[in-house]
Amino acid sequence: MQQVMFNDLGIMNYQSAWDLQEVLLQENLRKKAERQESGEDTIHHLLFVEHLPVYTLGKSGKMEHVLIDEDTRIQRGIEFFKINRGGDITFHGPQQLVGYPILDLEKFYTDIGRYLRSLEEVIIQTLNDFGLKGERSPGETGVWLDANLPGKERKICAMGVRCSRWVTMHGFALNVNTDLSFFDHIIPCGIQQKSVTSMEKELGGLIPFNLVKDSVKKNFEDVFAVKLVQDL
């Protein structure tokens, strides 16, 4: 069974977490390039983090999906980044569980679609642990509730990844007790006329954040057939 080094970063601004991901990704790319000479092997990582309020726009995103003007955004203390993952615009903030797997997919399977479906499965199983039925929406990455009921579709987990020489970064953002009002100022993931929800909203009360973390960790181990090891 493969090991994945796990690190819970707590609350961290977006740039610091992005920088850390880049360091871990580049280190794995270096090891791939020098593997025959050095004998070093790549290391899998999984980072958990809560971000301070930030909007991030992916490579395929459109600025017109940002509905808040810059002055108001700055006044509200919301950061903004154009980033190198797939996908469009999304929000990260407190009480949203963000997971960043830095995995060498050559040790699993070289299939980005399968990788995304596996990430979705982790979240679907986590939601099931709390009595919610997460679903996939055809042609749309992420996890939804009532995905096949027109007018009632609600996105509860956004996803966007980057892959370089089969090493991944970025990942998923699960709305646990997230302040959903931040989504009013964007067209989330560039998808109009579909709403965003949270576990708190669906279940009618605050959800113990650490219990959600534990569930995601367990389901990540099960879906990817790995063992999480605390990164000291």
Per-residue confidence (pLDDT) for residue 113, from 0 to 100: 95
Side-chain-facing half-sphere of 82: CA atoms under 13 Å: 7
CA distance 185 to 171: 22
Which of 47, 124, 161, 189 is catalytic? The answer is 189
Q: What is the pLDDT along the chain (232 residues), one digit of tens a residue?
A: 899 999 999 999 999 999 999 999 999 999 988 876 767 899 999 999 999 999 998 887 788 888 888 898 898 899 998 888 877 888 999 999 999 999 999 999 999 999 999 999 999 999 999 999 999 998 889 999 999 898 899 999 999 999 999 999 999 999 999 999 998 887 765 556 678 999 999 999 999 999 999 999 999 999 999 999 998 6
Torsion angle, CA of 33/34/35/37, rounded to 10 degrees?
Answer: 150
- The alpha carbon torsion through 103, 212, 135, 196 (nearest 10 deg) reads -100
Domains of the chain with CATH codes = 2-230 (3.30.930.10)
* Residue 157: active-site member: no
In which residue are the tokens 């999480």 written?
A: 228
With beta carbons less than 8 A apart as the criterion, state whether 7 and 101 touch: no
pTM, two decimals, is 0.94
In sequence order, what E strands does 59-215 have? 79-82, 89-92, 96-102, 135-137, 140-145, 154-164, 167-175, 195-196
